Structure formats: C-alpha cells, structure tokens
Structure 1
C-alpha cells in the first residue's frame, strides 16, 4: 500500500462489565489521527449494562459495529478469538486490538503503521505507561531484543498494543478457524498471537516508545507483572502446572511439538528442564526474566531428580 494516510484499520475490542471505563477507551479510539478506523466490539455477557451502552453508541456512530450479544466467553482470550473469527478482516489494511479500559494517544495507530511500513515488518507492539487510580504511573518496558525462543514462553507486550498487517491477520484468522476447538483452551491471546507470528516467519517490531495509558485496577484480567506479589503468582502458575501446560498447548497447536527444540523439553523432565534452564537467555527478553526462568527450571529439574 503506497499511501499510509487514512489507512483502513479494524480495531477489535473485547468487553466485559466495562461500563466504568469503556467510554473513555472508545473515545480515544474514535479520535485516532490519519487513519480510517472501524471499531468492532464483542461483549462477553455482562450485568452492568455494557451491551446497552455499546448498542446506543453504534446507533449514532456509523464506524462502530457491535457483534451479536448473548455469548459467554469466560475470559478476554476467547472473546478476541471470536472477534478474529467473525470480523471480515480482508476489508482492512491493518488490524489492531483494544481492551475496554485503557486510553490511547491520538497517534497510536498511525505511529504503528508508520513503523510497520518503514521497517517492512508484519506486526507491531510497544511499551505502555501503566497508571493507577491513586495517580501512580510506571513505564512498562517490553522492547528488549527478541530472542530465538522467547515466543514459546511470553507475549510481545500487552495485546492492546498489537497492530497487524492484513496478510498476517488473515493468515491468523484462517488458522483460528481451522483450530477453533483447541484454541479455546489458550488462556492468553496476546501470547498466542505472538507465537503464531514468529512461528510462521512473520517479522515483529517492538517499539520502545509508548502511545497508550494502561489502566490498572482490581478487575484487570491481566495487568502489570511486577513486585513480590507478581513473583508469587508467577511461581504458583509454574508449580501448579498451568503455565507449563500453556507452553505445551501452544507448541502443539502451532505444530511445533515435533521440532528438535520442543522435543528436548516438552515433558519437562529432569534433562528437559535442565536444558531449558541452560538456554534461559534465548527464552526470555528481559534480563530479570531470563534469570527467573533459569531459576524456575532448575528447581523443576530437581523435583524430577528426586
């Protein structure tokens, strides 16, 4: 596409019990500069009037489309998979994703598209500025250099910063449709989208700038992972098997479970876990996460060696 000005962008927004924040989020999407936005909203069945609010919005905003109500997804991941499946992505130049409670800079999408075009890449994500009700803010840095195997174990930042080219989005849509049943068990759509793109050879850029304020509150399904409580939660997910199970599931869905790398650790036995610990610096981006990864998988290997 030669002219970037007024590129057609589909923004896919997953909502649930969102009346406290969704208006501010939607307004920040609809005022995006230098792009032609169509906002698609899918609401996980709610009790706070979210469906009524988005229906009233769509009645007055021609570039807002609300998908059929009445479905229960039980999490943002399944809701985003529904949006990928049901929206005709081929009509747009780029596809983006939105939560219901953040605030976008007015140049968020145009900045992403400029990077996609200028760097000849297929996918974009970025750092974000987290903010809390008490006024506290924190820059969340996700732009560390990508590693050979990081996509097996983490996302490329918050999914609400992702922007995809049409080619990648349509490929992802077809894959989601073909693997619909298995994908319902994927907990984190942003991790899966990153893994899909990297596994299929698409080029990804993570911007060190931020164009989004990332709201933190007690109802966040996934928020900022920092501090002791985050470490404790992450440790529980490792040792109760949920995180390890998601790693295995994503590798299997993407047909990577027969690759030499995955075969070396897919059952997380003594040698497999020790091997992952040894490769920690290729498996995560942030140095602190590399060291934590090494520590966790060393512990897991010792458990299997008893």
Structure 2
C-alpha cells in the first residue's frame, strides 16, 4: 500500500537564479500530500542568489542550503555534489529540481504514487515548455524504452526525475567510486538514466506533463524544438562531444566490455556504420532513430568522430 505522505529529498542546483528561484521554491513547497525537504547547492553567483537563499532558508525550515563548495562550472557537477553530500537516510524518494521551472502541485504526489503502485525504481515525465512571450509547447519524451537508448539519451528533462531511495543510494556509491571520471560527464540526467537502466532498475516515463519547463537564453539544455536546436545538436556530434560522452558513460556504468558495445565503442568508420543499423535499439522516438542512422553515416564518411 502506498505511503500516505512520502518523504522526498529535493536536490536543487542553483546559479544566478534570482530572477526565477522564488517562484520555483514556492511551487515545490506547495506540493500536495508530500513531506518535502529542499537541499540547495549554489554555484558561486553574481546576482545575490547565495544571500537570498540563506535568508529564505532561515524562514523556511524545509529548505536547507549546503555550504559553499567552490565553482562547479555547470549544472551536472552541481547535481553530482548534491547526490554526494546529501544524506538520504529518512527519505523515501529523491528528486531533482532546476531553479527556474514551475512544478504542478501534484508533481511529487503523482510520481511517488506511480513509483509505488507500478513497483518501479525511477520516474520521469513529459513537460510543457514555456517562453517569456507566453508561447507553450508540449514536449513528449514518453516513447517506449528500447534496449540501448540509455547509452545515447536521457529519459527526459532531469528536473522531472524522482528515484527510490535504494536507487539513489546505489547511484551515490557508484559515483563515489568513480568520482574523478564523473567530473567529465556533461549531463547528469543522461548519466543517472544510464546507470539505472544498466543496473536493472525499472524506469517509468510518464506521458502526463508534471511541470512547466521554462525556456530562456541561459538554459543549459532546453526544448529541442525547431531547426536551430537540430543544427546545434549536429554541431556537438560533429565536434566529437556527443560520441565522447557515449564512450565515457559506457565506461562509467561498466558496459564498455559488453559484446554489443564492443562492436562499435572505438567509433571508427566501420564501427559507426555497424552501429547505424542498430538505430532502432538506440533511440526511442522515430524521428531520432532516423537522425541517429544518418548521423552515424555522415560522421563515418565526413565528420569528426572523437576528440
């Protein structure tokens, strides 16, 4: 029977967030039927985020600001620090939060209910992207999972992730064992999804949107909509970043010696051509399967493959 009021540790990474963080914190503290504690880790900021968060935490006992830990240089390292330093004992679930979104009031209630009733270990969901001009766009990430998608993409925006304590504890242990290499992982949500799937944890991607996903010029990774993001995505592949991340994540999760992975992990021309024919097993959405196939061929024939 589901826990009536689950205890959830929310890990929030902040950096120059004064423009949005108060609205986001209010949406998290307003969650229905959940006992929530928010842990904030702040990358050194220039807009007063540290002082404001300290004052806010002094007035809200459910909010705790972690001690300064130097510059992280990106959200991924900031989230890894949160996972490392927050004690999960006493919590039922662990969730990620960005500083600039707006959560639906039932986001954690629905996530924890799904986790318990479906007997899965991790949850993510679709989102509704929104822009300052009032435009919105539904982002669908809930296509059926395939055998190897976790090596090539995340489960969706990391700010929708909610994990069981057992998965969070296992993730933390693996991270501590690989801390130095982990610092080169650019996207924490991709890594967390890969770790969970590769270690046989069950993951559910909810087709219902759980939050409003704010879009602005400082998004590290935003809504993949229109031609510009597609061009930007191709550039990261052509420059070698994406395939290098694939190699690194495969190594960190212990899959670099798997027979399937070994057939293409060196990412030379013949390996990429071979990998292209597994596109249907490597991405969830049909458009992305086609893009994956084409990118493997283009990269093999004319593109830069690794740094």
What is the TM-score normalised by the length of structure 1?
Answer: 0.97
Aligned equivalents of 1:255 and 1:88: distance in 2?
25
Q: Aligned equivalents of 1:95 and 1:190: distance in 2?
A: 13
Deviation of the 1:290 alpha carbon: 0.5
Superposed CA offset, 1:247-279 (max 9, x none): 000011111111111111111112210111101
Q: Give SS of 1:148's match.
A: coil
Q: Does structure 1 residue 79 correspond to structure 2 residue 109?
A: no
The equivalent residue for 1:57 is 56
Partner of 1:153: 152
| Aligned counterparts of 2:228 and 2:76: Cα–Cα separation in 1 | 23
Structure 2 residue 20 is the aligned partner of structure 1 residue 14:
no
Partner of 2:98: 99
- 1:301 Cα offset (Å): 2.3
Structure 1 residue 170: Cα displacement: 0.5
Q: Which residue of 2 aligns with 1:121?
A: 120
Q: What's the secondary structure of 1:52's corresponding residue?
A: helix
- Which portions of structure 1, spanning 4 or more consecutive aligned residues, are displaced by more than 6 angstroms? none
1:150–1:282 CA contact under 8 A, matched in 2: yes
Query: 1:29-48 alignment to 2 at 5 Å?
Result: 29-48=28-47
Alignment partner of 1:193 is 2:192: yes
1:167 aligns with 2:135: no
Q: Is the 8 A contact 2:11 2:96 kept in 1?
A: yes
Say whether the 8 Å CA contact 2:11–2:39 is kept in structure 1: yes
Measured in 1, the distance between the counterparts of 2:60 and 2:248 equals: 40
Q: Give the Cα–Cα distance (whole angstroms) in 1 for the partners of residues 120 and 288 of structure 2.
A: 26
For structure 2, which runs of at least 5 residues remain unmatched after alignment? none
**262-271 vs 185-194, greater mean Cα deviation:** 262-271
Is contact 2:148–2:282 with CA below 8 Å preserved after alignment? Answer: yes
TM-score (norm 2): 0.97
The structural deviation recorded for 1:228 is 1.1
CA contact (8 A) 2:2 2:117 kept: no
SS at match of 2:89: helix
Structure 1 contact 121–202 (Cα < 8 Å) conserved: yes
For 2:47 and 2:222, locate their aligned partners in 1 and report how far apart those are by CA, in whole Å: 22
Tell me the distance in 2 between the aligned counterparts of 1:79 and 1:281: 33
Aligned counterpart, 2:66: 67
Distance in 1 of aligned mates of 2:38 and 2:270: 48
Contact 1:90–1:170 (8 Å) recurs in 2: no
Residue 231 (structure 1) shift: 1.1
- Ranges in structure 1 where 5+ consecutive residues have no aligned partner: none
Query: Residue 149 of structure 2 contacts residue 283 of structure 2 at CA under 8 Å; is this kept in 1?
Result: yes
Give the distance between the partners of 1:182 and 1:135, measured in 2 at CA: 41
Q: Say how many residue pairs are matched.
A: 303
